[in-house]
């Protein structure tokens, strides 16, 4: 077992038959006009849900959705999610407006047949974000086993992530999604297969410094694209026009290039770009013939020669971790670099892992998502975990020292 899972029970360790399982999921899906626009997180949760049902558990699912200001913020209701679950599972999913109410017990101890209970958006209760033990005690009053499968929320010490397992003590563990996430992310730092390349992009170096520091000794090389690349180019004295540059990271960028050289490791930067006069001005789009960008232009994607360089290096890698798009991929005019990286990874037989919210969206938009080894659904949590930070939602599930444990 990989180190990240040490001491943590998984759903397989429990006898679920006839037990009430409180399943914390990440059902935080994008919703527009009551329609779910991307149901990846719902489908990703199905294996754990189905396992509970097959094992004869009485199931309560719980999740947050967005950032509601109060319980009256009905646009953040989980109702569309409950309806979709009803369809996908072919069972009635009952949405409980009052998670702490007697209504839940009423259903549980009444003549519950096939139904599943779905608690309304956990963040409608201020106790969730306050990590309220009181709220957790209310949930625990009707729960036999707590399972966390919401990796994307594990970096937050909220009641359903932290207080609840604290109360449940040994009757708490993780689901299949978290188990896979941890195994996959651990495989990136525990003796990954070489050559190992990390592709970094996105908007800012400052967001990624901790990841870079964690990976610099493990990887054989970095490939840098996206807006982040301009700070590296500028640090080497290359003019980058109006492209995004983090002035306070120029020194770091310069030093990092030197550190990679000193280690004899690969450091690939763009040698050409797709530029435009401004973000929205697709008409003025052109490809540069070198790494230099004119004063009145802004770099919005990597160029064709850069794509060839990057994909050639990726095709030879046995392990790739990709975080951060190569350009403003949300605009089709600037998506070629990002999609080329996704395509090359999808064609590889190596371990190909995508992490980060926008990167996962980019992989999805490219059409190659299903061919990746793993796309982390965790967003911020994946990066924090990879950086070696302790996630409150996982740490609370490890065996506690006697002195910290209440007597059972
Ligand atoms: P992730 O969420 O996967 O960690 P980031 O949030 O770091 O990724 O970066 C994603 C954003 O970076 C995207 O919205 C994308 O438009 C932006 N981006 C990429 N390249 C550029 C660029 N050249 N100029 C401006 N923004 C860029
Ligand atoms: Mg992002």
Average pLDDT on 16-29 reads 96
pLDDT, mean over the chain? 93
Please check whether residue 369 is in contact with residue 212, taking contact to mean a CB–CB distance below 8 angstroms.
Answer: no
Scanning the structure block, which residue is given the tokens 């106790």?
A: 127
Q: Which atom of ligand 1 is nearest to the CA of 208?
A: 7
Q: Is 380 an active-site residue? A: yes
Residue of the nearest CA to atom 4 in ligand 1?
Answer: 356
Ligand 1 center to residue 391 CA distance, Å?
25
Residue 314: is its pLDDT beyond 90?
yes
Q: Residue 71 — very low, low, confident or very high, per pLDDT cuts 50/70/90?
A: confident
Ligand 2 center to residue 205 CA distance, Å?
12
Distance CA 266, CA 89 (A): 48
Is the peptide bond prior to 237 cis by the omega test (within 30 degrees of 0)?
no
Per-residue confidence (pLDDT) for residue 408, from 0 to 100: 39
Residue of the nearest CA to atom 24 in ligand 1?
Answer: 227
Residue 2: is its pLDDT beyond 90?
no
Please check whether residue 342 is in contact with residue 363, taking contact to mean a CB–CB distance below 8 angstroms.
Answer: yes
Per-residue confidence (pLDDT) for residue 195, from 0 to 100: 97
Q: If you ran DSSP here, which 8-state letter would residue 192 be given? A: P
Comparing CA positions, the residue from 299, 351, 356, 368 lying closest to residue 325 is 356
Residue 197: is its pLDDT beyond 50?
yes
Tell me the per-residue pLDDT of 105-126, one tens digit each, with 9 for 90 and over: 888 888 777 899 999 999 999 9
Distance CA 184, CA 382 (A): 10
Q: What is the pTM of this model?
A: 0.86
Q: How far is CA 93 from the centre of its chain?
A: 26
Per-residue confidence (pLDDT) for residue 1, from 0 to 100: 37
Ligand 2 center to residue 356 CA distance, Å?
6
Residue 187: is its pLDDT beyond 60?
yes
Q: How many residues does the chain have?
A: 408
Q: Name the packing angle between helices 357-366 and 336-347 (round to 10°).
A: 80
Q: Exposure string (b/e) for 253-287, b if CB count within 10 Å is 16 or more?
A: bbebbeebeeeeeebbbbbbbbbbbeeeeeeebee
Strands 20-24 and 58-62 turn out to be parallel
Tell me the per-residue pLDDT of 261-275, one tens digit each, with 9 for 90 and over: 999 999 999 999 999
Distance CA 304, CA 248 (A): 29
Average pLDDT on 164-186 reads 96
Please check whether residue 213 is in contact with residue 189, taking contact to mean a CB–CB distance below 8 angstroms.
Answer: no
The set of protein residues with a Cβ atom below 6 angstroms from ligand 1 is 201-203, 207, 226-227, 244, 299-300, 323-325, 327-328, 330, 356-359
Q: Is 41 an active-site residue? A: yes
Q: Exposure string (b/e) for 154-193, b if CB count within 10 Å is 16 or more?
A: bbbbbbbbbbbbbbbeebbbbbbbbbbbbebbbbbbeebe
């Amino acid at each position: 077992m990989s180190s990240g899972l040490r001491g943590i029970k998984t759903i397989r360790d429990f006898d679920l038959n006839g037990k009430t399982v409180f399943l914390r999921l990440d059902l935080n899906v994008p919703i527009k006009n009551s329609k779910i626009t991307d149901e990846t997180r719902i489908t990703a949760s199905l294996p754990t849900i189905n396992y509970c049902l097959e094992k004869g558990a009485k199931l309560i699912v719980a999740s947050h959705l967005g950032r509601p200001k109060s319980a009256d913020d009905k646009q953040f209701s989980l109702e569309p999610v409950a309806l979709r679950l009803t369809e996908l599972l072919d069972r009635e999913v009952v949405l409980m407006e009052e998670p702490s109410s007697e209504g839940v017990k009423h259903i549980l101890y009444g003549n519950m047949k096939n139904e599943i209970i779905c608690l309304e958006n956990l963040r409608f209760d201020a106790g969730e974000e306050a990590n309220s033990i009181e709220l957790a005690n209310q949930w625990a009053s009707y729960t036999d086993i707590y399972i966390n499968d919401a990796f994307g929320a594990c970096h937050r010490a909220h009641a359903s992530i932290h207080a609840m397992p604290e109360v449940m003590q040994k009757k708490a563990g993780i689901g299949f999604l978290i188990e896979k996430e941890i195994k996959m992310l651990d495989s990136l730092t525990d003796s990954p297969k070489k050559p190992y390349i990390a592709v970094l992009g996105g908007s800012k170096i400052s967001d990624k410094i901790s990841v870079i520091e964690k990976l610099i000794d493990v990887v054989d090389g970095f490939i840098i694209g996206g807006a982040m690349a301009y700070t590296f180019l500028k640090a080497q004295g290359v003019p980058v026009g109006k492209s995004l540059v983090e002035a306070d990271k120029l020194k770091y960028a310069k030093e990092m290039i030197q550190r990679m050289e000193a280690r004899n490791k690969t450091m690939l930067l763009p040698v050409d770009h797709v530029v435009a006069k401004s973000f929205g001005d697709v008409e003025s789009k052109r490809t540069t013939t070198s790494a230099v960008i004119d004063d009145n232009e802004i770099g919005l994607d990597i160029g064709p020669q850069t794509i060839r360089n990057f994909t050639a290096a990726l095709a030879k890698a046995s392990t790739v971790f990709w975080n951060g798009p190569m350009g403003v991929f949300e605009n089709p005019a600037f998506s070629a670099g990002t999609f080329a990286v996704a395509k090359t990874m999808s064609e590889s037989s190596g371990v190909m892992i995508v992490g980060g919210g926008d990167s996962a969206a980019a992989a999805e938009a490219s059409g190659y998502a299903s061919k990746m080894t793993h796309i982390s659904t965790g967003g911020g949590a994946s990066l924090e975990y990879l950086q070696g930070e302790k996630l409150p939602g996982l740490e609370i599930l490890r065996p506690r020292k006697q002195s910290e444990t209440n007597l059972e």
